[in-house]
Amino acid sequence: MSILNIGVSGLNAAQAGIATTSHNISNVNTPGYSRQQTVQSTNTPQFSGIGYVGQGVDINTVRRQYDSFLTTQARTAQSASSQLSTQSSMLQNIDNLLADNQMGLTPVMNDFFSAVSTLASNPSDPAARQAMISAGQTLSTRFSSLSGQLSSMRDQTNATISQSVSTINSLTDQIAKLNNSIAAASGNANAPPNDLLDQRDSLLRDLSKEISVSVVPANDGSLSVFMNNGQALVLGGQQTKLQAQADPGDPENTAVGMMVGGQFKPYSDSSIGGGKLGGALAFRQSLDGAANGLGRLAISLGQGFNAQHDVGQDLNGNLGTDFFSVGTPLALTNANNSGNAQIGASISNVGALTTSDYKLGFDGTNYTVTRLSDKTQQVFPSLPQTVDGVTIGVTSGSMAAGDSFIIQPTRSGASSIDTLVTDPARVAAALPVRASIANANTGTGTMNVTGVTPPANANLRQAVSIVFTSPTTFNVVGTGTGNPTGLTYTPGMQISYNGWNATLSGTPANGDTFNVGTNSNASGDNGNANALAGLQLAKLMGGGTASINDAYSQMVGDIGSQTHAAQIGAAAQATVLTNADSAQQGVSGVNLDEEAANLLKYQQAYQAASKVISTANSLFDSILSIMK
């Protein structure tokens, strides 16, 4: 009987090996499947007079070929790869939009200033005036179009975030249910449920495509899953759902958070990393910068052009009016505020504007303004205060401790700009004042008004006289000038009164007089048109360090650099992921050649065990025949 039992144990062991090998072969193409292997050991031998006699083989368990370190490494690489690939593809859309030679801002901006230059060459030509207006309308339309496309990208990003959160919730629900099944199966059979473990690992891998997570095992075989910020998504058999809702601080953005006490509490974007969700949230920071940068360009161009146009003179003899409409800062109230304060913001220095948004908070005593692009904070005991060219103040009500507001100084700039001047006669191409020489002058002195400094002075068109008391000294007479006397004359010198600038040249004689007054019959005057054309290269931005063209080129360059860096990172991380998967599959993957060899080995073992049983049966028959 012992020989029979030994043969049966060998037969069972070979049968288990064949079944396990067949299972491996069948699942060679199953995603997430880990190769399985039977674990055998000898049965306890039996002592006899001649020593210990073997009792066959025992199947201890079916073991999953699995390395937790390699699996975690592959999961981490997957999360990073998904984030960078998502971010890269989204950034490419902005880069293609802004850098396009036809649909970007550069060609229409060049066309606009070219039309202004043409007007400066032909200030009395109605066609040139109309061409400038048409080019301005095209420019403002392009600003609005680009802003609209960036807004569409924001909507698509919000949809991606919502879809990712929905996928995360579905996966964590399945993981929690599998935790329960695995814990029950492990307890009942005292053996690992390998296929369930593979299913859970596959779900964790899919989860890592959406968000970066860390995993902590429990003694019962279940796993707890945590986000980077420490929030638990799965605790054993319990799932905690993420929420994707409009951000209480900025309803244009979809935020990710949790419901706490019936109130939505969003997480900061920076606390959520990895996966498609992390990539979308990281991209939104670049999208904010692009939208704000485009708005800053529109505001800088609009205010700069308006300021110069306002001090010009149109064909009707009137001072110019605003050529463009200009956007104003937005102050967004957090939906969770308990106070009733209303915040107002205005631009006090367009040259100091940045491309950042700002957060205004109140702790009950002090006000804190945080520049969100770099988290720089300034603390103030009271409002109003000016930060980066933006004046922030409370217009009504009062803030309660914990209240916050988002200030967006330039976000609406590109969508709000429009061309206000539609009548060619209202284009202020001329200077509003002109210098004239008294008929009685005997010297060779000349005086030319070269420009007007914005904003318009209240006494801009008041009559002013420059009266020489000697060839080298003069007095100034006129409202608003202060009537200085005994000023020293130097040939080619610049003088400025009431907002206008002029050049004195030549050799005046004692008693010579030069008059500055209203510019009448000025249809051919191009003084202000020249100043308007010069704004293309004027340092209107970055604290007087960059022109509008410079700022746009820098913005396009920044987006291009971010896109290139994301593409390089995505390619590098894809290689890391491939290597991590190869290492993990080297342990857990099914090798058909190896399995074919195992199948043949177990087949031969099965046949040999059958022969042992057959031999034992023959011996038993021989013993029975003796008894007959």
The pLDDT value recorded for residue 340 is 95
E strand or H helix that includes residue 507: none
Neighbours of 310 (CB within 10 A): 18
What's the pLDDT score for residue 205?
95
Closest alpha carbon to 288 in 330, 347, 333, 245: 330
Give yes or no for a contact between 514 and 465, defined as CB atoms under 8 angstroms apart: yes
Which amino acid is it at 307? A
Count of Cβ atoms closer than 10 Å to residue 196 Cβ: 17
* Residue spans of alpha helices (H) in 375-424: 413-416
pLDDT score, position 188: 65
Average pLDDT over residues 536-557: 89
Provide the whole-model pTM. 0.87
Beta bridge partners of 450: none
Do residues 478 and 458 make contact, with C-beta atoms less than 8 angstroms apart? no
* 575-584: average pLDDT: 94
CA 508 to chain centre: 64
Contact 305, 535 (CB under 8 A): yes
- For residue range 110-168, what is the model confidence (pLDDT) as tens digits? 999 999 999 999 999 999 999 999 999 999 999 999 999 999 999 999 999 999 999 99
pLDDT at 1 over 60: no
Residue with tokens 């100034």: 476
Contact call for residues 97 and 156 (beta carbons, < 8 A): no
Residue 620 belongs to what H/E stretch? Answer: helix 592-627
pLDDT(189) > 70 = no
Angstrom distance (rounded) from CA 590 to CA 477? 99
Lowest mean pLDDT among 54-58, 205-209, 306-310, 421-425: 54-58
Per residue in 476-502, pLDDT tens?
A: 999 999 999 999 999 999 999 999 999
Spatial distance between the Cα atoms of 401 and 367, rounded to a whole number of angstroms: 10
Lookup: tokens for 418: 């429009």
Strand partners, 245: 255
Domain ranges of the chain: 2-65+592-627, 71-283+545-580, 328-409, 433-518
Give all strands (DSSP E) within 534-605, no chain letters: none
By CB atoms closer than 10 A (0-12, 13-18, 19+), residue 51 is exposed
Rounded Cα gap, residues 373 and 301, in angstroms: 23
Rounded to the nearest integer, the mean pLDDT of the chain is 93
What are the tokens at 18?
A: 């064949």
* DSSP H or E run through 160: helix 126-189
Identity of the residue numbered 506: G
- Tens digits of per-residue pLDDT, 582-599? 999 999 999 999 999 999
Checking phi first, is residue 317 left (phi over 0); if not, alpha (psi -120 to 50) or beta? Answer: left
Q: Is 504 exposed, middle or buried (0-12, 13-18, 19+ CB in 10 A)?
A: buried
Residue type, 27: N
Neighbours of 377 (CB within 10 A): 11
Residue-wise pLDDT tens digits, 257-280: 998 888 899 999 888 999 999 999
Which pairing describes strands 238-239 and 243-246: parallel, antiparallel, or unpaired? unpaired
Amino acid identity, position 6: I
Q: What CA–CA distances, in Å, run from 14 to 7, 36, 218, 250?
A: 10, 15, 34, 66
